[in-house]
Chains A and B, each alone.
Chain A
Amino acid sequence: EVQLVESGGGLVQPGRSLKLSCLASGFTFSNYGMNWIRQAPGKGLEWVASISSSSSYIYYADTVKGRFTISRDNAKNTLYLQMTSLRSEDTALYYCAREDGYNYDFDYWGQGVMVTVSS
């Protein structure tokens, strides 16, 4: 069974940093591209960043480019999102999602981890 379990969220002050993790199991992690997608409270979904299976290709939304860094450790089956210079508008539930490499959609999602940016 595919499982994606996010961790590392919490309350952080504006301008500070936070690092999210997503532990994958139930599939060969190193074969799949992965994504971070967020959902502000009561709002819709916003794609944040993606990373290819071997980390060769990395992409970011304009809203986080230069502040967030996506990375992965295939030996540890873990996806990361390093977030710096956090703003109030980054407050959201952050999901990691697996990318189906054939159909180019998000076929499995984690349960999400909450990040609240507030003084």
Chain B
Amino acid sequence: DVVMTQTPPSLSVAIGQSVSISCKSSQSLVYSDGKTYLHWLLQSPGRSPKRLIYQVSNLGSGVPDRFSGTGSQKDFTLKISRVEAEDLGVYYCAQTTHFPPTFGAGTKLELK
């Protein structure tokens, strides 16, 4: 299975600060169709996961443009500019390029 390694495991931030989360995969996530099926999800406290970004850099419906995703091959980054209180929770990267789909262990974003 493809191992997804997220760092850091947790982040303590102040409102208005910008942060980045790294996600590295054990194999290239470029599929045979040339697309990269690396996605980001946010699980707010007590809630189910919610789609944030799909295919590396595409924002999900209703996701503010303070969120951005970059990366290629095996190295990906989620950036949040100007963190707001509603952004707190656990961020997961996920890959669906290879079977089975796998998730990172999560990065917990907390208030400083």
Contacts and interface: CB of A to CB of B under 8 A. Distances in A.
Given A59-B100, A61-B100, A44 B51 contact: no
Contacts of B60: 107
Contacts of A46: 103
Interface residues of B, number: 22
Contacts of A44: 92, 103-106
Nearest to A45: B103
Contact of A100 (B41, B50, B54): B54
A98 to B, nearest CB: 10
A109 B49 contact: yes
Interface of A: 35, 44-47, 59, 61-62, 95, 97, 100, 103-112
Interface of B: 37, 39, 41, 48-51, 54-55, 58, 60, 92, 94, 96, 99-106
